[in-house]
Amino acid sequence: MHGGRDVANDASTVFDVVILGGGSGGYAAALRGAQLGLSVALIEKGELGGTCLHRGCIPTKALLHAAEVADETKEAAEFGVLATFQGIDINGVHKYKDDVVAGLYKGLQGLVASRKVTFIQGEGKLSSQTSVDVNGQRVEGRHIVLATGSVPRSIPGLDIDGNRIISSDHALKLDYIPKSAIILGGGVIGCEFASVWKSFGVDVTIVEGLPHLVPLEDENSSKLLERAFRKRGIKFELKSRFSGVEYTENGVRVSTENGKSIEADVLLVAIGRGPVSAGLGYEEQGVAMDRGYVLVDEYLRTNVPTISAVGDLVPTLQLAHVGFAEGILVAERIAGLKVVPIDYDGIPRVTYSNPEVASVGLTEAKAVEQYGKEKVVTLKYNLAGNGKSKILKTAGEIKLVQVKDGAVVGVHMVGARMGEQVGEAQLIYNWEALPAEVAQLIHAHPSQSEALGEAHLALAGKPLHAHD
Ligand SMILES: Cc1cc2nc3c(=O)[nH]c(=O)nc-3n(C[C@H](O)[C@H](O)[C@H](O)COP(=O)(O)OP(=O)(O)OC[C@H]3O[C@@H](n4cnc5c(N)ncnc54)[C@H](O)[C@@H]3O)c2cc1C
C-alpha cells in the first residue's frame, strides 16, 4: 500500500469512496474524487491501469505503429526513398511496446500517489453494501464503486490454451511471428490484430459471423475497410459462424457452419469481452445484474444506493474513454456536483487498423430508424480530393449523416490517420452543428482535417474540391 493512511492499522477509517478495480474506470473515479477532496481507497489485484494500459489500447497501438513503420519501409521506394525492409525483430517490437507501457505505468502510479489516493494492492470482494474485504481486512466506504472490468470471452467448445488458441492477452506477448493466423471475430480487436500481423508478414484470415467487418460501424465504413483489407491481402470470411476447431500437426483447423475449413498456425479468439463479476459478492449484496454485467441507471447508480459501477463491467460501450467519463461522472456525483448523463452516441469510436475507421454519432441505418428515411440526408466525400491524403497515398471517404435541414448527426471516416480527425467530428456532433456552420470554419491546407471541412462545404451545397 502507498499514499494516504495505512488502513491495516486503522480499523476506524471510513473512506468517502472505496473503488474496486484500478483500470480506466476505477482510477478515473479515484483521481477525480481525490481532486474534489474526497478520501479515496483504490483496490487493485493486478496492475494499476488495468486492461487499457497493460493489455489493451496502449500495447496494441504500439504494435500498430511498429506495423506502420514496417509498411512505410517496404513502400519507401514509392516516395523515392531508398530503404531495405529486412524483417521484424519481434523482441525489439516488444521492447518498444513494453517501454511505452512502463513509462505510462510509472507516470500513473506517481499521479495516484500525488493525489493522496490510498492504493491497496490485493484481490477485493464486496462484503457489505459499504465495504470491501481485501488482504484479510475490511475497507469501509460511504460509497462503493465497482470497476472490475472485463476479460476475453470464449464460447463453449473453444478452449483458449494460450498456445495455439489464444486471446488478445496472449497475442500481445507472442514471442514469434506465426506464418499464418485465423482471427475469430471481425470487430475492432480482430481487425487491429489482422492489420498488425499482415504488416508483419502473417497470412491472415478473419472469420466473422455477421455480414461485415466492424459490424457496429456504418455499412459504408465496413465496405471501405473490407476493400482496403482485400487490397492488402487480408482474407476474411463473412457470414461464417464458427462451428469447431481441432489441432493439426502444427497448428489448428477451424470449421464454420457454412462448410468452410481453414488451417493456420494459430487461432486468435476475438469475439468480445465479458464482465469480471463472478464470485465478487455483488449478487450476495443485492446488486442487480444481467448476464454478469452490473446494471446501472444513467448516473451509473446501481439499485443499491451506496453502490455505483463503471467501465466494462456495465453494459455500455467497452472503451477506455467511456470508463474515464463514467468514473469522473460518479466521482463528481458523489462529491455533490451537478452531473449530466453521458450521450453514448456522442462518444468517438476508432479502429486503429490500416486504414483507420473512425466515427461519432449515428450510422445511416440508425438515423433512418430514429428520424425516418425521408428525413435523412447523407454525403460522401472521397479522400482522393484531399491533398494531404494524396500525399500520404491513402484512400478512403468521409460520410456525413444529416437530419434534413438540420444538424449533422453522424460522421464516419475511413483512411490513414482518420482517428486523429474524430476530435473535430465529435465537436460537430455534440454541438449539433449545421453543415453551413461547419462550412464557415476555415481548415488548414493541406491537412486531412480539410477533408472534413470540404465534406461540410459539399453538404452545405457549395463543394470546392468535389464534383457537384
Ligand atoms: C486488445 C484491446 C485493445 C483495446 N483498445 C482500445 C482502444 O484503442 N481504445 C479504447 O478506448 N479502448 C480499447 N480497449 C478497451 C479498454 O481497454 C477497456 O474498455 C478499458 O480498459 C475498461 O476499463 P475498466 O476500468 O472498466 O476495466 P479494466 O481496464 O479491465 O480494469 C479492471 C481492473 O480491475 C481489476 N480487478 C478485477 N477484479 C478485481 C478484484 N476482485 N479485486 C481487485 N481488483 C480487481 C483488474 O485487475 C483490472 O486492473 C481495448 C481492449 C483490448 C482488450
Q: Give bridge partners of residue 273 from the DSSP assignment.
A: 152
Q: Are 33 and 40 in contact (CB under 8 A)?
A: yes
Distance 275 CA to ligand 1 centre (A): 10
User: What's the CA angle centered on 384, arms 387 and 391, to 5 degrees?
Assistant: 40
For residues 30 and 195, give the distance between their C-alpha atoms in angstroms, rounded to a whole number: 35
Closest residue by Cα to residue 232 from 141, 343, 354 = 354
Query: Alpha helices, DSSP H only, in 335-403?
Result: 364-371, 387-391
Question: From the CB of 48, is ligand 1 less than 6 Å away?
Answer: no
| Residue 412 is among the residues annotated as catalytic for this protein | no
- Segment 51-89, tens digit of pLDDT: 999 999 999 999 999 999 999 999 999 999 999 999 999
Half-sphere exposure of 47 (CA within 13 A, CB side): 15
Per-residue pLDDT at 4: 43
Distance 110 CA to ligand 1 centre (A): 20
Q: Which of 54, 170, 443, 445 is catalytic?
A: 445
Distance 60 CA to ligand 1 centre (A): 13
| Residue 355 Cα to chain centre, angstroms | 16
Q: Are 330 and 306 in contact (CB under 8 A)?
A: no
Q: Are 402 and 379 in contact (CB under 8 A)?
A: yes
Per-residue pLDDT at 223: 98
Per-residue pLDDT at 11: 56
Question: From the CB of 46, is ligand 1 less than 6 Å away?
Answer: yes
Q: Is the dihedral of CA 310, 311, 313, 317 positive or negative?
A: positive
The three cell numbers locating residue 290:
444481467
Nearest CA, atom 47, ligand 1: 46
Distance 325 CA to ligand 1 centre (A): 14
Question: From the CB of 353, is ligand 1 less than 6 Å away?
Answer: no
- What percent of the chain has pLDDT above 90? 96
pTM for the full model? 0.97
Closest residue by Cα to residue 22 from 142, 189, 182, 134 = 134
Nearest CA, atom 51, ligand 1: 56
Question: From the CB of 26, is ligand 1 less than 6 Å away?
Answer: yes
DSSP classification of residue 15: E
Nearest ligand 1 atom to the CA of 152 is 53
Per-residue pLDDT at 9: 47
Per-residue pLDDT at 3: 43
Per-residue pLDDT at 446: 97
Question: Which stretches of the chain score pLDDT less than 50?
Answer: 1-5, 8-9
Nearest CA, atom 1, ligand 1: 56
Nearest ligand 1 atom to the CA of 352 is 8
Question: From the CB of 21, is ligand 1 less than 6 Å away?
Answer: yes
Burial code (b: 16+ CB inside 10 Å, e: under 16) for 39-62 equals: bbbbbbeebbbbbbbbbbbbbbbb
Per-residue pLDDT at 5: 46
The distance in angstroms from the start CA to the end CA of the chain is: 64
Half-sphere exposure of 434 (CA within 13 A, CB side): 8
For residues 102 and 154, give the distance between their C-alpha atoms in angstroms, rounded to a whole number: 29
For residues 78 and 86, give the distance between their C-alpha atoms in angstroms, rounded to a whole number: 17
Average pLDDT, the chain: 96
The three cell numbers locating residue 127:
462484503
User: What's the CA angle centered on 115, arms 113 and 116, to 5 degrees?
Assistant: 65
Question: From the CB of 167, is ligand 1 less than 6 Å away?
Answer: no
Per-residue pLDDT at 126: 98
For residues 97 and 171, give the distance between their C-alpha atoms in angstroms, rounded to a whole number: 13
Q: Give bridge partners of residue 117 from the DSSP assignment.
A: none
Per-residue pLDDT at 12: 66
Number of C-beta neighbours around residue 165 at 10 A? 22
Hey, what's the torsion of the CAs at 425, 468, 220, 350, to 10 degrees? -20
